[in-house]
Amino acid sequence: MSYPIARPRRLRTSPAMRRLVAETRLNPAELVLPMFVKEGLTEPRPVPSLPDVMQHSRDSLRKAAAEAVRAGVGGLMLFGVPEKRDATGTGGIDPGGILNVAIRDVIREVGDSTVVMSDLCLDEFTSHGHCGVLDAKGDVDNDATLARYAEMAVAQAAAGVHVLGPSGMMDGQVGVVRKALDSAGYTDRSILAYAVKYASAFFGPFRDAVESQLDGDRRTYQQDPANLHESLREVELDIAEGADMVMVKPGLPYLDVISAIASTVNVPVAAYQVSGEYAMVEAAAANGWIDRERAIMESLTSLRRAGAQIILSYWATEAALKLREQY
């Protein structure tokens, strides 16, 4: 025969046809918006390396949270930026610390209309910028850090958070947090484990957003980007310790990791589309090099296609509104 026997193009002939046969669909409820709140601000402050992302005041955080809920996002992930820091991250444990205060603010504003999540890590609160307590040699002391995480978890649960996100990549962190929560009576609080968090170059703009004090790097506790099987082991350990959900961070550079994990676990898998991923698209779009809206939706769809059921993205509110228009 002189003509093609198979014509897959028939299923691409119109927007309606492409929508009908789409294998992967995004839903606003699958998107989570990361949000930063800075102690002492009276007005929101732009993050220079993250266009349209703000360090919020308490008032603007509440308003932005309500806006995201109206757009239909599935969750909000809160990060605190304190005015003062110390060697052990006291501000993260203090009930009056900015993150715990912000949790209470957002819960009062949105209640149970979305899932309120909190970052459970010391890096925003330490004067050295590491995710834990340092020993006499200046190395992160894993087990001393776990004790602080336990206190921080109870403080965040007392503030009313729905989901806690241990992100420090300390060995045993999920088990310690789960035990602390259960012992304090917070058996209903979920844990989204940052089970797979790579020592990535794509975190740069985030460190601007939280005003990181880090000197050096986190390669002794965050994962080597070369490794996949190590990630599978980390996930297995976190689930055994009580994680309700697991996360891969960053997202797009690690689609293979997301896919491998999603095919082997029976808990929800999340991906964090990190600050560097966001900033690259925004910078290219600002220069007219790519179609911004298409790049946003394509990148989110790629994460979903790889197997992420939950996607943390700084575009969450914007993408949720766009999806509501489409469907």
DSSP, residue by residue, 40-93: T-SS-EEETTEEEEEEEPHHHHHHHHHHHHHHT-SEEEEEEE-S--BTT-GGGT
Query: Do 94 and 155 meet the contact criterion of CB atoms below 8 Å apart?
Result: yes
Task: Pick the closest to residue 153 from 161, 252, 311 (CA basis).
Answer: 161
176, two tokens? 């310690």
| Residue closest to 36 by CA, chosen among 118, 141, 121, 111 | 118
State both tokens at 123: 């890096």
Q: Is the peptide bond before 250 cis (omega within 30 degrees of 0)?
A: yes
The first and second tokens of residue 150, run together, are 């336990």
Residue 118 main-chain phi, psi, to 5 deg: -135, 140
d(CA 230, CA 220) in angstroms, rounded, equals 14
Beta bridge partners of 12: none
Structure tokens at 35: 């949000």
Grouping H, G, I as helix, E, B as strand and the rest as coil, residue 31 is: strand
* CA-based end-to-end distance of the chain: 41
Would you name the residues annotated as active-site residues?
197, 249
174 Cβ contact list (under 8 Å, min separation 6): 166, 191, 193, 195, 237, 238, 241, 242, 243
